[in-house]
A = this chain, B = another copy of it.
């Protein structure tokens, strides 16, 4: 039986007693109905995880005492940042959940010419905070001790300006300079750009190429936009011998 896992960003060292964040405390007491003395796991989202004992559990607060460090599942060797054009509706929820499960290091929502949501609406909607909560929840479920950071949304130009190593996923037949996955060289700490439902504009492809992005196609078939991140991260990690 796997012990229930709780996320506590302030967890640092064995022997210390810390308070769980409100969401986690609520899950411990109300959903799982655990009590003082029960054994749990606590992880800090930065790779640290401990066995722990519930020291105090009330409606107001839950405190746990960290015991022994736990050997966590190993993180991918390659730190991949997923830079994903914000998709419509709640599709991003699944994408964030799956990207965390597949080991990305960070998620960068981006706004592109064909993104169908305005930056102001996105900021007002609290969706980035929601995605960060989903990242925590996904890490808890899949066993990762690292919670990837979900960054604030920014225009794609902002990503190009960072001069990070870029891999830009393109649909078959849309960019003459695209290479197939088999021809993609190793790339350190890549940022992987995935476009919106309507694809990249010619201008965005040109900007990407100018920023040094490797343009890559995945097979000959058109893959639906909300499946591309899962397929792309899996394909890149296997291609780079990191799965």
Q: How many copies does the complex hold?
A: 2
* Interface membership of A234, Cβ < 8 A: yes
| A positions within 8 Å CB-CB of B | 73-74, 76, 97-98, 101-103, 141-144, 172, 180-182, 218-224, 227, 230-231, 234-235, 237-239, 241, 243
Minimum Cβ distance to chain B for residue A56 (Å): 30
Residue on B nearest A234 in the bound complex, by CB: B234
A235: B residues at CB distance < 8 A: 234-235, 238, 243
Minimum Cβ distance to chain B for residue A228 (Å): 10
A74: B residues at CB distance < 8 A: 220
Q: Report yes or no: A238 in contact with B241, Cβ–Cβ below 8 A.
A: no
A141: B residues at CB distance < 8 A: 222, 224
Contacts A103-B219, A221-B102, A224-B101 given; indicate if A243 touches B182 (C-beta within 8 A). yes
A243: B residues at CB distance < 8 A: 180-182, 218-219, 235
Residue on B nearest A224 in the bound complex, by CB: B101
Minimum Cβ distance to chain B for residue A137 (Å): 12
Q: A231-B234, A234-B238 are in contact. List 4 more A-B contacts (CB 8 A).
A: A98-B227, A101-B222, A102-B231, A238-B239
Residue on B nearest A240 in the bound complex, by CB: B238
Per a CB cutoff under 8 Å, which of B101, B182, B220 touches A143?
A: B220
Per a CB cutoff under 8 Å, which of B172, B231, B241 touches A230?
A: B231
A221: B residues at CB distance < 8 A: 73, 101-103, 142-144
